[in-house]
């Protein structure tokens, strides 16, 4: 499978995502420049972590206007798999591809920590290789990762089984401990924890590979 | 143009002598702009005029060194055609004036030094020094500075995308008016990708790239070369403002532009901005540079040539490209949305010629500015030192309380709240991050990993600068050895007071010589560094604060942890306790925290022995025989041990007391119970009391990560005080003549005696031991508990819910301790009383350990120890002190441990032991 890793000015986990896909997962990946108007022939796309456009104004607020996001929208509308990690999640939320918003951590400080998240649904192209209730060790590193949405949206997310991950210990004050959510069509996942940082045994955990392996399995099924 | 008056010269911090020299070099009076240019280039910060003479004594060559001092960063070979660039820089003065931006631009500056050479930054470490946070006068300001500096570093490093992987934070009153912010950065590149800051090729275009020039940071370099006075706080405009996003773009654009092959030389604009980069690039290549300021991108209008030349606006670079290939370079920068403007060209006449719209504003030989700055052989005397050689009376030691005070002190306590604000994992190469001896960063391109340690010790260095800095170098190397890395090269940041004072100059000279000696001995040549002088406020200098960063190499693989991974392992002290006496204790953390004093000399260092200890430790660690390893330094053995334990319930004492307390409540104040129910309920209630007391620390440990060692230990005292409160107050026995006793338990509330004085509790203990032995061996629960003990991470990976077990195990052990308490009150003394337990909870730890943590063995060992203790009381009546029993206990423990070590040494090939790398 071929993953496209979008590079915005200020992306800084782009190389990490690329490395996880190529070296830890054993698939191919290529970078997609933010000015590209098409994603080419990629099978799935990753919006990596970082500080796109310096995250000025609000995290992800400027990135949503970049040319590549129009291509990502089209790709998603056609059913393509889109994974937004950290800043990528923030961009997806700002773009309206996922509901809610990500605001400053409750502690007001940036937090970098290995945390436990619970896989809440195995019924998605991003989580089918795991099992519901499984606890994964995946690090977080963000200053604005507190997920908020109105009650109705939260109820809806839960009713439609769209909460993909929850924090076991709620590190940033996210409502209902939400760490990652799916869109209604279940082909877009946004998550604050960094699965690409938990893909190499030397980094202390390979739990993040669940996400990438699920994507590969889902793509193989659709071929 | 203003005329040059002596006042103006003085305002530029140039001496009359230096001014005469300028006139001599130029053959005329300088213009105002030229005066500004000379003042920054000849400032202490840029010219090293006070230290240069002595810095020549440092060893700078070695088998791994590709580039020594003199370039933007030192470069060492790491094999397979790859190299590491690294260097440390201070940003002390700006961080005092504006902590957030001062620290942020400190990070930005050193990162530019690294990628200027063509290397991609892979890690940052920082050495921070602040005044104490609880200082009665400066405390509030110190807290503000600490907060600002930490968030400044986090802001810049996180956004730029470089992991902050380690460092240290120290608090001392000498930093009240002069915090230190030293940042070390490392980058990786191939040998054939090294770029130098040289303007070669006459006629080649000089290109300005990056951010626009503003009025910020003008005279930053000169500010960093003067003492602080009351007016310093007015110098805020001297501090630059950083934009990490722009720097990230600059990094990507520079590395990409370098790949075009069109770049001849490149230098960042840091201290002294455009001035420094133009004349240094020219001077190094023996060429001149001519620029016209009208082309310099400016973000403010009406800037004078003086301001443009001296601005220290951040995120700017100056590069020299091959003639005719300007467009190739410009294209790359345009792609990243950055300015790239040709502002001049390289000349052959060796002059820095600055024009403004064609009119000449400065013309100075580049060499005169960069190389011919005055070099001072400043007079120096014995180092400044006011500490006494004699020492205060040692205080009566309460070892336990002192140990707690040490591990919770500012310098030694966990700095997690600081380093969790840094993204220490980005780039997915951090094999070992902050909070350990040395950081370890994997190099993905080769099979090598880089270990880095950053250390300083201003107390040692104040007592004896020469010896102190040797200890710092030794500690750095020891930290690297603890992870099995071989130290290969060093960088240093010398933070001192005013060098014009001979006794401060004395500190500097002694330090440089001591560092030279130690670096030569440990074969870690100095590849670069920074000197920060004038760290004084109102005449009060900081203590001599050399900060040393040493880089080591190791094979990529799992890193031996610092923490003890599981109980039951032998602890080996490598290197012994070393020579020490009370005089050499005066610089220790014990002296600082407990005695609040500083005297005598730093600990003795036998470098030869140290080197052999380190070699041995490296070998042990590399062979994989050590399950964990930790160096001994600040706080010594006691603190090292406390920090290496896994899950340790040392609160049995408190849980025992709470069990006794709960039982006493039932017996004294509770409802009347039918006789058959009284004893079981008593036991259950006591167990519940102990369990609840253990559950608090367990919850804190499991969910917030609070060390249960400290919390259980502290709760022991809380429990003891509760007992005191009750036996002196509400439950006091009116008939006890104000002895701290409660009323006696009613008859029905006592454990029945079985034989002699052996009560029901003994039977209960045997039963529970059997149950536990069976449970641990035969049930899934026991299996999983043992799996966690053997390695929590592995157990987690195997699907064990570690957190639930932490809670359960702590609760069970608390319940058992509580039950012991019930046994004591209901079976033995029949009342609650002060001093109910003479340390049973602590004896229990020794018993458990000696018994190899096996329940049956615990019973046997416990009987033995009980015999010993009680035997001690009996022989007392024969005139022999009861303390002999305690000594016997200690001796037994000692021999058991020694035996353990001997046995394990014989069985070398089995996974061995935890080692503590010791030394001086």
pLDDT tens-digit profile of B204-228? 999 999 999 998 777 665 555 566 5
Q: Which of A182-191, B207-216, B792-801 has the highest mean pLDDT?
A: A182-191
First vs last Cα of chain A: how many Å apart? 10
> HSE on the CB side for B524, CA within 13 Å?
30
First vs last Cα of chain B: how many Å apart? 62
Q: Which of B45, B93, B219, B630 is catalytic?
A: B45
Backbone angles phi, psi at B874, to 5 degrees: -70, -45
Average pLDDT over residues B756-782: 74
d(CA B740, CA B723): 10
**Cβ within 8 Å, pair A139-B425:** yes
Query: B414 CA to chain A: closest CA distance, Å?
Result: 15
From the list B248, B249, B423, the residue facing A112 with the nearest CB is: B423
Clarify whether A27 is annotated catalytic: no
What's residue B234's pLDDT? 52
Furthest-apart CA atoms within chain B: distance in Å: 111
The pLDDT of residue A102 is above 90: yes
Confidence of residue B645 (pLDDT cuts 50, 70, 90): very low
d(CA B837, CA B661): 12
The pLDDT of residue B686 is above 80: yes
From the list B245, B427, B803, the residue facing A51 with the nearest CB is: B245
Condensed to tens digits (0 to 9), the pLDDT of residues B898-910 reads 665 565 455 443 3
What does the mean pLDDT of chain B come to? 85
Are B619 and B537 spatial neighbours (Cβ–Cβ below 8 Å)?
A: no
Of B576-585, B809-818, B878-887, the one with minimum mean pLDDT is B878-887
Chain B interface includes A9 (CB < 8 A): yes
d(CA B71, CA B52): 15
Give the H or E element holding residue A102: strand A101-103
What's residue B253's pLDDT? 97
Residue of chain A whose alpha carbon sits nearest to that of B251: A10
**Cβ within 8 Å, pair A51-B423:** no
> What is the number of other CB atoms lying within 10 angstroms of the CB of residue B56?
11
Average pLDDT over residues A147-159: 97
Condensed to tens digits (0 to 9), the pLDDT of residues B575-632 reads 776 667 788 888 888 889 888 889 999 988 889 989 999 999 999 899 888 888 888 7
C-alpha dihedral (B890, B895, B900, B904), degrees to nearest 10: 140
Chain B interface includes A139 (CB < 8 A): yes
Residue of chain B whose alpha carbon sits nearest to that of A33: B335
Are B562 and B628 spatial neighbours (Cβ–Cβ below 8 Å)?
A: yes
C-alpha dihedral (B477, B483, B485, B488), degrees to nearest 10: -30
Collect all residues with Cβ–Cβ distance below 8 Å to B12 and sequence separation of at least 6. Answer: B35, B36, B38, B39, B222
Query: Which residues in chain B touch residue A135, judged by CB atoms under 8 angstroms apart?
Result: 796, 801
Chain A interface includes B424 (CB < 8 A): yes
Are A2 and A30 spatial neighbours (Cβ–Cβ below 8 Å)?
A: yes
**Cβ within 8 Å, pair A54-B424:** no
The pLDDT of residue B913 is above 70: no
d(CA A51, CA B760): 67
d(CA B423, CA B123): 11
The pLDDT of residue B844 is above 90: no
Average pLDDT over residues B122-148: 95
Helices (H) and strands (E) in chain B, counts: 32, 26
Chain B interface includes A170 (CB < 8 A): no
What's residue B909's pLDDT? 36
d(CA B127, CA B129): 7
**Cβ within 8 Å, pair A19-B428:** yes
Q: Which of A94, A120, A144, A196 is catalytic?
A: A196
What's residue B578's pLDDT? 67
Find the length of chain A: 223
Residue for token pair 């300007």: B326
Mutation target to probe the A interface, by most A beta carbons within 10 A, among B147, B420, B428 is B428
A window 23-52, beta carbon within 8 A of B: 49-51
d(CA B918, CA B574): 5
Confidence of residue B912 (pLDDT cuts 50, 70, 90): very low
Backbone angles phi, psi at A92, to 5 degrees: -60, -40
**Cβ within 8 Å, pair B423-A141:** yes
What's residue A223's pLDDT? 73
Residue for token pair 């100056």: B318
The pLDDT of residue B335 is above 50: yes
- Quote the radius of gyration of chain A (alpha carbons, Å): 15
Q: How far is CA B535 from the centre of its chain?
A: 21
What's residue B914's pLDDT? 36
3-state secondary structure of B638: helix
The pLDDT of residue B786 is above 70: no
Confidence of residue A200 (pLDDT cuts 50, 70, 90): very high
Characterize the bridge pairing of strands B526-532 and B486-495: parallel
Q: Which of A27, A86, A144, A146 is catalytic?
A: A86
The pLDDT of residue B848 is above 80: no
B window 242-261, beta carbon within 8 A of A: 243-246, 248-249
Of B122-136, B404-418, B468-482, the one with minimum mean pLDDT is B404-418
Characterize the bridge pairing of strands B448-455 and B439-442: antiparallel
**Cβ within 8 Å, pair A143-B158:** yes
**Cβ within 8 Å, pair B420-A112:** yes
Average pLDDT over residues B379-388: 87
Chain A interface includes B556 (CB < 8 A): yes
Of B2-6, B113-117, B244-248, B515-519, the one with minimum mean pLDDT is B2-6
**Token pair for B376:** 């001072």
3-state secondary structure of B190: strand
Give the H or E element holding residue B306: helix B305-310
Higher pLDDT, B766 or B502: B502
Chain B interface includes A130 (CB < 8 A): no
Query: Which residues in chain A touch residue B249, judged by CB atoms under 8 angstroms apart?
Result: 9-10
**Cβ within 8 Å, pair A113-B248:** no
Confidence of residue B639 (pLDDT cuts 50, 70, 90): low
Residue of chain B whose alpha carbon sits nearest to that of A110: B421
> HSE on the CB side for B313, CA within 13 Å?
22
Query: B487 CA to chain A: closest CA distance, Å?
Result: 22
d(CA B908, CA B821): 42
**Token pair for A156:** 């809806």
Chain B interface includes A200 (CB < 8 A): yes
**Token pair for B452:** 């880095």
Mutation target to probe the A interface, by most A beta carbons within 10 A, among B158, B165, B423 is B423
What's residue B908's pLDDT? 41
The pLDDT of residue B325 is above 60: yes
What's residue B395's pLDDT? 67
Chain A interface includes B705 (CB < 8 A): no
**Token pair for B889:** 């206990």
What's residue B673's pLDDT? 77
Query: Which residues in chain B touch residue A131, judged by CB atoms under 8 angstroms apart?
Result: none
What's residue B835's pLDDT? 74
Clarify whether B630 is annotated catalytic: no
Average pLDDT over residues B688-713: 80
Chain A interface includes B425 (CB < 8 A): yes
What's residue B661's pLDDT? 85
3-state secondary structure of B858: helix
Residue for token pair 């022999």: B880
Mutation target to probe the A interface, by most A beta carbons within 10 A, among B146, B159, B425 is B425
Average pLDDT over residues B65-91: 94
**Cβ within 8 Å, pair A9-B337:** yes
Residue for token pair 């700002």: A94
Q: Which of B64, B91, B759, B830 is catalytic?
A: B91
Contacts across the A-B interface (CB distance below 8 Å): 89
Residue for token pair 């080649």: B204
pTM above 0.90, yes or no: no
What's residue A201's pLDDT? 94
B window 149-208, beta carbon within 8 A of A: 151, 154, 158-161
Condensed to tens digits (0 to 9), the pLDDT of residues B340-380 reads 999 999 999 999 999 999 999 999 999 999 888 899 999 99
Higher pLDDT, B799 or B257: B257
What's residue B874's pLDDT? 72
């Amino acid at each position: 499978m071929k993953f496209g890793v979008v590079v915005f000015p200020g992306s800084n986990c782009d190389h990490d995502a690329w490395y996880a896909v190529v070296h830890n997962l054993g698939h191919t990946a290529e970078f997609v420049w933010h000015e590209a108007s098409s994603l080419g022939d990629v099978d799935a796309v990753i919006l990596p972590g970082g500080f796109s456009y310096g995250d000025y104004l609000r995290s992800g607020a400027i990135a949503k206007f970049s040319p590549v996001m129009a291509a990502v929208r089209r790709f998603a509308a056609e059913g393509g798999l889109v994974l937004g990690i950290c800043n990528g999640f923030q961009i997806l939320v700002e773009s309206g591809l996922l509901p809610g918003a990500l605001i400053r951590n409750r502690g007001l400080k940036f937090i970098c920590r290995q945390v436990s998240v619970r896989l809440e649904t195995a019924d998605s192209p991003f989580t089918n290789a795991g099992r519901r209730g499984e606890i994964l060790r995946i690090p977080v590193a963000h200053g604005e990762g507190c997920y908020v949405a109105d009650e109705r949206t939260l109820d809806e997310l839960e009713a439609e089984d769209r909460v993909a991950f929850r924090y076991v210990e709620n590190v940033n004050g996210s409502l209902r401990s939400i760490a990652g959510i799916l869109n209604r069509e279940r082909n877009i996942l946004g998550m604050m924890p960094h699965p690409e940082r938990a893909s190499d045994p030397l980094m202390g955990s390979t739990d993040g590979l669940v996400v990438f392996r699920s994507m590969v399995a889902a793509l193989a099924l659709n071929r | 143009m203003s005329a040059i008056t002596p006042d103006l010269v003085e305002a530029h911090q140039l001496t009359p002598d230096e001014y005469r020299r300028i006139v001599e070099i130029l053959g005329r009076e300088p213009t105002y702009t030229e005066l500004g240019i000379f003042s920054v280039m000849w400032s202490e910060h840029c010219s090293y005029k006070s230290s240069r003479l002595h810095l020549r004594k440092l060893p700078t060559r070695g088998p791994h060194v590709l580039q020594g001092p003199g370039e933007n960063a030192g470069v060492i070979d790491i094999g397979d055609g790859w190299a590491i660039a690294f260097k440390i820089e201070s940003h002390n003065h700006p961080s005092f004036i504006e902590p957030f931006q001062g620290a942020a631009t400190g990070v930005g500056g050193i990162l530019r030094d690294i990628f200027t050479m063509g290397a991609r930054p892979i890690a940052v470490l920082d050495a921070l020094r602040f005044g104490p946070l609880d200082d009665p006068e400066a405390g509030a300001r110190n807290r503000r500075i600490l907060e600002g500096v930490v968030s400044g570093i986090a802001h810049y490093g996180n956004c730029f995308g470089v992991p902050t992987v380690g460092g240290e934070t120290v608090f001392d009153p000498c930093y009240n008016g002069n915090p230190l912010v030293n940042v070390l950065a490392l980058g990786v590149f191939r040998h054939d990708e090294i770029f130098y800051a040289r303007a070669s090729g006459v006629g080649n275009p000089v290109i300005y790239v990056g951010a626009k020039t503003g009025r910020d940071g003008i005279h930053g370099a000169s500010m960093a070369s003067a003492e602080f006075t009351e007016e310093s706080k007015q110098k805020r405009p001297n501090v630059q403002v950083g934009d990490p996003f722009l720097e990230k773009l600059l990094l990507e654009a520079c590395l990409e532009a370098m790949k075009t092959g069109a770049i001849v030389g490149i230098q960042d604009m840091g201290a002294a901005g455009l001035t420094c980069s133009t004349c240094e690039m020219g001077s190094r290549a023996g060429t001149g540079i001519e620029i016209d300021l009208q082309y310099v991108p400016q973000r403010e209008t009406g800037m004078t040539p003086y301001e443009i030349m001296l601005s220290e606006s951040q995120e700017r670079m100056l590069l020299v490209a091959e003639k005719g290939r300007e467009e190739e370079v410009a294209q790359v920068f345009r792609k990243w949305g950055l300015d790239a403007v040709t502002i001049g060209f390289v000349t052959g006449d060796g002059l820095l010629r600055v024009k403004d719209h064609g009119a000449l504003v400065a013309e100075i030989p580049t060499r005169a500015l960069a190389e011919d700055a005055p070099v001072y052989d400043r007079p120096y005397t014995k180092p400044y030192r006011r500490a006494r050689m004699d020492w205060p009376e040692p205080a009566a030691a309460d070892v336990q309380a002192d140990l707690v005070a040490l591990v919770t002190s500012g310098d030694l306590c966990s700095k997690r709240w600081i380093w969790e604000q840094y993204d220490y994992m980005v780039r997915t190469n951090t094999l070992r991050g902050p909070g350990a001896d040395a950081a370890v960063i994997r190099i993905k391109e080769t099979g090598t990993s880089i270990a880095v340690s950053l250390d300083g010790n201003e107390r040692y260095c104040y007592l004896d600068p020469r010896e102190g800095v040797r200890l710092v170098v030794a500690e750095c190397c020891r930290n690297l050895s603890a992870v099995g890395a071989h130290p290969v090269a060093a960088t240093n940041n010398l933070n001192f007071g005013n060098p014009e004072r001979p006794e401060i100059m004395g500190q500097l000279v002694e330090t440089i010589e001591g560092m030279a000696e130690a670096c030569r001995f440990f074969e870690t040549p100095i590849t670069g560094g920074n000197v920060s002088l004038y760290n004084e406020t109102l005449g009060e200098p900081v203590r001599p604060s050399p900060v040393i960063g040493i880089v080591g190499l190791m094979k990529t693989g799992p890193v031996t942890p610092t923490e003890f991974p599981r109980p039951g392992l032998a602890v080996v002290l490598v290197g012994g306790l070393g020579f020490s006496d009370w005089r050499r204790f005066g610089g220790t953390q014990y002296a600082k925290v407990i005695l609040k004093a500083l005297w005598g000399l730093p600990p003795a260092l036998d470098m030869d022995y140290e080197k052999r200890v380190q070699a041995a430790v490296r070998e042990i660690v590399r062979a994989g025989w050590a399950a964990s390893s930790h160096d001994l330094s600040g706080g010594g053995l006691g603190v090292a041990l406390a920090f290496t334990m896994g899950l340790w319930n040392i609160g049995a004492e408190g849980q025992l007391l709470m069990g006794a307390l709960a039982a006493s409540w039932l017996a004294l104040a509770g409802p009347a119970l039918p006789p058959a129910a009284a004893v079981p309920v008593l036991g259950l209630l006591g167990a519940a009391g102990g369990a609840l007391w253990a559950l608090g620390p367990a919850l804190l440990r499991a969910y917030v990560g609070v060390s249960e060692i400290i919390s259980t230990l502290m709760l022991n005292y809380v429990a003891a005080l509760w007992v005191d409160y009750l036996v002196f107050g509400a439950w006091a026995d009116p008939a006890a003549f104000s002895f701290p006793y409660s009323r006696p338990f009613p008859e029905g509330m006592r454990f029945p005696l079985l034989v002699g004085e052996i009560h029901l509790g003994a039977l209960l203990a045997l039963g529970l031991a059997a149950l536990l032995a069976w449970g641990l061996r035969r049930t899934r629960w026991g299996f999983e508990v043992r799996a966690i003990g053997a390695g929590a991470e592995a157990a987690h990976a195997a699907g064990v819910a570690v957190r639930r077990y932490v809670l359960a195990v702590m609760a069970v052990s608390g319940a058992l301790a509580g039950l012991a308490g019930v046994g004591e009150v209901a079976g033995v003394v029949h009342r609650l009383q002060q001093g109910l337990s003479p340390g049973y909870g602590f004896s229990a730890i020794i018993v458990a350990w000696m018994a190899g943590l096996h329940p049956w063995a615990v019973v046997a060992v416990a009987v033995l120890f009980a015999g010993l203790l009680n035997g001690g009381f009996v022989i007392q009546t024969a005139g022999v002190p009861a303390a002999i029993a305690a000594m016997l206990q200690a001796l037994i423990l000692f021999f058991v441990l020694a035996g353990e070590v001997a046995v394990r040494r014989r069985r070398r090939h089995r996974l061995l032991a935890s080692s503590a790398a010791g030394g001086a």
